[in-house]
Structure 1
């Protein structure tokens, strides 16, 4: 099976047992008690850690890894009036859920041709099991201090998936942890979300925050920079990832205009245009609202005076209070005469208390230090 993996579009394949992930469950309980969950996870900890609850006859789990690029060729330049945001590398090419499901379907077909009585259950990311825990026990890689699965050959630039099966396959061994004394990822985290080796407070993680739909604290907005979706900082600084850039999967190669889009046009996009431009990316799963909110944040962080008419139009006309309040913050950061005039105009007509409060802070130059 391992030998067949490259022909199936799989870069690494390993096998583990279907035994419960008991140590993981203990960590997840502590994680929940500390309030460090994102809210996107499967809430049932037993389902996340007990494969036989998903398939009663489970005997083995086949873990796969598919590498994606870490560098963008032909990246467009961000310049005044034409400022650009950035998607995280995991969202650069085709939605990885689709890319991996195709490969897992091919793997399932390969197995069924040889063992017609096999039972198989495949999942990618949105399944109950922890992809990283499966991959690490199977020997795909080790658990990095940045909470990513680090592979010796591909770094952490990999998508993970797995297939639970009733077949009693010989398991592979986990590989040794390779981070050593390095703490570059923890030191580089912009928000201190990596609260310890292998410990992430998702509530502080920019990758998580960019995917939420609610108002973001001003302290967090300042740290988001021009990120529209996700954050790669802890992976970029990792020495294991240095010089690794796997580009042999054509559908995962980024389109620079999607991966690093102009910000101002994002503010005017309707749902149809958003789906047409970003629908093939995993960044689209939460819809356009988070991306548009993050575009407003990026323009504010750029202090891009030429974008004031577009940002002011959001403050004046957008029906969503979160976007209007974010636009107010952005105009406050730009702080040009035109920006302040737009804030004063909006203040005279705005009815939503949360937005009028944001306008007031923007005009007074005060920062809201409420934690996100």
Structure 2
């Protein structure tokens, strides 16, 4: 079959199976990306979640020696919940999962659709070789999508499409079929630097360069004690951060509810914080296991929920936090609970911290307890 004809058939088929944008590029080395990755490493800006070496992330043929082309896809997701979605109240404070974690885990949804394209190709080309990747693969989905003309990578380091803004999931198929490549997308940010100025932690160092170690989206996924300077910045986020998307002019009025799989579920996208403190592993898996934000397990989510209660200074959570501080077997959770109690700042909270200090053996937890008690001094001085 003529590759141009096959390309047109793939494009038409992709629309039938729920793919919103598709583009084709070569399997050539991503030279500029390699230079940026090396620089990121030198500066210590990487998250540690990256898969593969710099060579594997920028040289497609290291992953599929026969590769000649890469097919890039984008699937849109919503940016807003319905107007009557639940809101935080003084009695029931809620946290927030970022928009990319709404609905069914996109890794599964996109992989299923890419498999359909893969089968479509193999039915037509006997000697076709393919390899699918969605986010967790070595290649940079954004770099592939940009070179395939799906969109451009903005200063916030997100792939921005003309139709759907940056609210898209990305995936790709490497193949040995030599498709004619599409024209790479051009930069659309111009002089705009709104996302750089709006980033709560200054993680966007400059246009297109992110210090992942300061990025809230990354920090919410870590499992250790959260550094003090970021605790007030996280607010009620339990997973991820959308600030640099929400302020982007390219995302103004963008809100597509095309795919039912990605519709936010009220009590999952905006979970009540207090119940998160005592949720069991089984309950966590049953409730949140189907969303992308569950991949690191319940510990980071619980830690963030505890910080969120401190952020709200939720006095109704004091008894729950005291029990966590006294009984949870994990030092990070006990210590963060002590800090949060101090942040809430009731006398009952301070007394509980002092009592628990008599029995606590872990030095890190004791350190957090002392920080919790320090809030009393701040209250007194003010």
Q: Could you state the TM-score of these two structures normalised by the residue count of structure 2?
A: 0.95
Q: Say if 2:206 is the partner of 1:189.
A: no
CA contact under 8 A between 1:81 and 1:305: conserved in structure 2? no
Correspondent of 1:50 among 42, 46, 59:
59
Structure 1 counterpart of 2:36: 27
CA deviation after TM superposition for structure 1 residue 82, in Å: 0.3
Counterpart residue number, 1:350: 360
Which residue does the alignment assign to 1:257?
Answer: 267
Partner secondary structure for residue 42 of structure 1: coil
Q: How far is 1:3 from its partner?
A: 2.0
Are residue 267 (structure 1) and residue 273 (structure 2) matched?
A: no
2:313 pairs, out of 303, 323, 327, with: 303
- Counterpart for residue 140 of structure 2: 130
SS for the counterpart of 1:325 is: helix
Q: 1:106-133: per-residue Cα shift (whole Å, max 9, x none)? A: 1111111221321110000110101011
How much does 1:365 deviate? Answer: 2.1
In structure 2, which of residues 148, 171, 174 is the aligned counterpart of residue 164 of structure 1? 174
- Offset from partner CA, 1:283-317 (integer Å, 9 cap, x none): 11000000000000000000000000111111000
Deviations 1:6-37 (A, max 9, x none): 11210000000000111110110001000000
Query: Which residue does the alignment assign to 2:118?
Result: 108
Instruction: Judge conservation of contact 2:155–2:207 (CA < 8 Å) in 1.
Output: yes
Partner residue in 1 for 2:4:
none
- 1:13 aligned to 2:22? yes
SS at match of 1:147: coil
What SS does structure 2 have at the residue aligned with 1:289? Answer: helix
User: Aligned to 2:239, which of 223, 229, 241?
Assistant: 229
Cα distance in structure 2, aligned partners of 1:45 and 1:331: 43
- Does residue 241 of structure 2 align to residue 248 of structure 1? no
TM-score (norm 1): 0.97
SS of 2:303 mapped into structure 1? helix
Comparing 297-306 and 41-50, the one that deviates more: 41-50
* Structure 1 counterpart of 2:324: 314
Take 1:366 and 1:60, find their aligned partners in 2: how far apart are those partners? 62
Q: 2:222 aligns with which of 199, 207, 212?
A: 212
Could you list the runs of 5+ residues in structure 1 that have no partner in the other structure? 368-372
SS at 1:33's partner residue?
helix
Helix, strand or coil for the counterpart of 1:2?
helix
**Inter-partner Cα distance in structure 2 for 1:309 and 1:120:** 56
The answer for unaligned runs of 5 or more in structure 2 is 1-9, 378-382
Whole-angstrom CA distance in 2 between matches of 1:316 and 1:362: 14
Secondary structure of the corresponding residue to residue 248 of structure 1: coil
